[in-house]
Structure formats: structure tokens, C-alpha cells
Copies of this chain bind each other. A is one copy, B any other.
């Protein structure tokens, strides 16, 4: 074990972080090497800075003119220079402010400074690196993004356990989550991965369900379970019904208990309509973590980022910073949210009034980009192929009996045709 890693481990040992770090998480540290020496020089090298491996002329990075032509209002430092390992300091601070504004329970001193990673996948994968060993218990919903099993089972070799997302009464299956954790925890530790608004169903918990879940998880922590809760907030903010809990579950978990580490993984990807920018964030919260402990954890995160991709896209971070700090940002974002909400209401209305496709049962949905049908008859892969082949319509088949429809991708005027064609095709294949 490197002495720098040992020092970080000592600082984290009395906390839930120390108790839940993976073996890699224990080994990793941020070297006092080239990057650290360069950061020091950035502050103090007022004469010449010959540290970093970039090419400068007159103090600005040398940029090829075709690239500069496409970015006329940005300087080379804002586009082609390296970003710091953990992200642009201004953007990290601004994103923290944004998280605080969206989640009114949060206290600035009780959550970490968000680290920039290249997208939400990278945030989830980084959390897997830091907190999941082979054989560890990781719990997530039976219906989920197909990258979860790839990251946690295939990559991290966790023992994954699943809960049915919905209870028999059709709401969030809080009991199922708790029982799955209790049954599968290994050595007093479990990792729970929550994703709301949910992919693929488009479900978010009600305010009452969110509080019930937070209470139940806190009780597990109180009973001695060391619990890491990863909140995949990719689709945050797109809540279409009044009774939906309008904040992240992180808002209720960040200081729930000394045994509960809450990890918020979010990003500009879906929230700010910049999918291909690859700018995501990872933020931590746990009851009683001190500034010194947050800083030790930050070193672990920086070391991990360095081993995977060194840093995230500078131009993406710059453009996001400019967007978030623009005066028109909130107004425009509300307007875009309304465009998606209008599509949601249209889909609801189509479903409420349909007379065909009744063998397709919509799962509960109230938020996000998607809705999902459960097929009471037939096979969803067959339906997907038939829709693609005969109708030129693209949908996603999951687990043979679910069909995901991304209404976020379809203009409002086309939704009726889209859904009527899906209904007619299902009826044609397997009868009304």
C-alpha cells in the first residue's frame, strides 16, 4: 500500500466511507507527481511554466485554425487546454450551487464538492470502482438500464440482487427494496442503486414514497448495515405530476445516518440537453463527515479519474459553465421542460382514450423521457422487429415482455400516429 493511500485510509477509517471502500478504493491515491506539481506551478510560476505537456505560444495553447474557426467566441484555454483532473473549479462550484438550489434540505457543508466525470456512466463506473468488490452485494430494480448489469455483474463481479420496482398496488416497492437488501447484504455491507426518473419506466416516487424509502434505508443503517446508496439522477427535473417527489433522494439521504453514504450521480447529459458532451458529476454526503474526510475522499476520486481518463472534456465543461451562468438559462430550460411535459400529457391522453392495443399494459409513469408497456400477450422483441420492419418505427424491447417508448424523441404532433401504430401492430400480431 502506498503511504499516501495509507494516510487517506487512516483519515477515512472511522467513517462509512472507510468501512465501504473496495480493495481498489483502499489502494488508490492521487500521486504528488506531474499533475500536482503542475497545479502548484499554475499558481506560482509567474515567469515561465515549463511543467505541462502542452504546446503554448505567448501563453495560450496553440490551436489549429479550423478548430478555432468553429469556436469563435471561446479562447484556446477554454476549449483545447486540459481541464483539471476533477473538473473546472468554477463549474464544480456552480454545479454544487445548482444541486443545493434543486434540493432544499441539503447543507453545503455536509456534501462534497461535485467532481466532474465524462458522463453519468463514468460516475456509476467510478462508484463501482471505489465501493464494489467481487462478491459484494449490489441491489437494483429488476427493470433497469442494461448497462447496470454490465457494470456491476460483468465488470465488478458483484453479487447483484433485484427487487420488483412496483408493489402489487402499483406504487414504489419500498418493502421489496428493504427485504432485498436485508437478504443479500454481505459482511454487513450493501450497495443500493436507485434511478429516478426511472429508465425504462419513467416512474418517480411520490413524496410519501420518497420519505418512506428514506426512512426505511435509515432504519437499516441504524441496525448496523453499512449502506452505499447510489442515486442515478440522470433524468432529474422532468417531473410531470404534482404528487411526484420533486427532489433527488439524495436530498433525504445525505445526512440520514453515520452508516449511510449517499452518492449523487447526475449530469448535464439529460438535464441540460447535452448528451454527447460527456459531462457528469459525482457528489457525496454522509452524516458526520468532516471537511478533512471529504477532502480525503476527493483525493481517492481524483486518483481514480486519473487512472481511467485523466480528465474530462474541457470544451464541454466550458460550454456548460457558460450555459449555466447565462441569464436566460432558467427560462429556456423551463420552456424545454414544458415541451417534454406536453408530450407526456399527450401520451397520457392517448392511453386514457385508446380502444385498441389493450394487451399492452402501460407501467406507472410520471416523469423523464420514457414510458414502458408490459405485454400481456406475445413477445416484445417480436413486436419491436415487426414495428421496425413494417412500420419504420424504432422502439426498445426488454426482457421479452417489455417495450420502451422514448416519447422524448417524438414530436407532439406525431405521438397519436406512433401509439396507434404500436397498438394496431400488437393487435394484428396477437389479437385485440
Contact = CB atoms under 8 A, between A and B. Distances in A.
A64 B329 contact: yes
A124 to B, nearest CB: 9
Contacts of A376: none
Interface in A23-59: 24, 27-29, 31, 33-34, 37-38, 40-42, 44-58
Contact of A54 (B117, B409, B411): B409
A430 interface: no
Interface string A393-420: 1111110000001111111001001100
A316 interface: yes
A30 to B, nearest CB: 9
Contacts of A45: 388, 392-394
**Residue in A44, A58, A398 whose Cβ sees the most chain B Cβ within 10 Å:** A44
Interface string A110-137: 0000000111011001000000000000
A323 B64 contact: yes
Stoichiometry, copies per complex = 2
Interface stretch (A165-173, A211-219, A245-253, A305-313): A305-313
A119 to B, nearest CB: 6
A303 B333 CA distance: 34
Contact of A64 (B272, B307, B310): B272
A199 interface: yes
Contact of A73 (B46, B69, B417): B69
Contacts of A89: none
A370 B51 CA distance: 9
A215 to B, nearest CB: 31
Contacts of A63: 273-274
A125 B314 CA distance: 20
Contacts of A352: none
Given A50-B410, A328-B65, A389 B81 contact: no
Contact of A53 (B320, B408, B418): B408
A163 to B, nearest CB: 20
Contact of A80 (B52, B275, B393): B275
B66 A307 contact: no
B388 A41 contact: yes
**Residue in A5, A61, A306 whose Cβ sees the most chain B Cβ within 10 Å:** A306
A339 interface: yes
A223 interface: no
A326 interface: yes
A311 to B, nearest CB: 7
B394 A80 contact: no
Interface string A92-105: 00000000000000
A53 B150 contact: no
Interface string A150-169: 11001101000000000000
B409 A55 contact: yes
B369 A67 contact: no
A407 B326 CA distance: 38
B277 A315 contact: yes
9 contacts: A29-B154, A37-B397, A53-B370, A55-B336, A66-B323, A67-B320, A82-B275, A121-B310, A276-B314
Given A33-B146, A51-B409, A62-B273, 11 more contacts: A48-B409, A50-B395, A54-B275, A55-B336, A56-B409, A56-B410, A67-B320, A67-B322, A119-B309, A278-B278, A315-B316
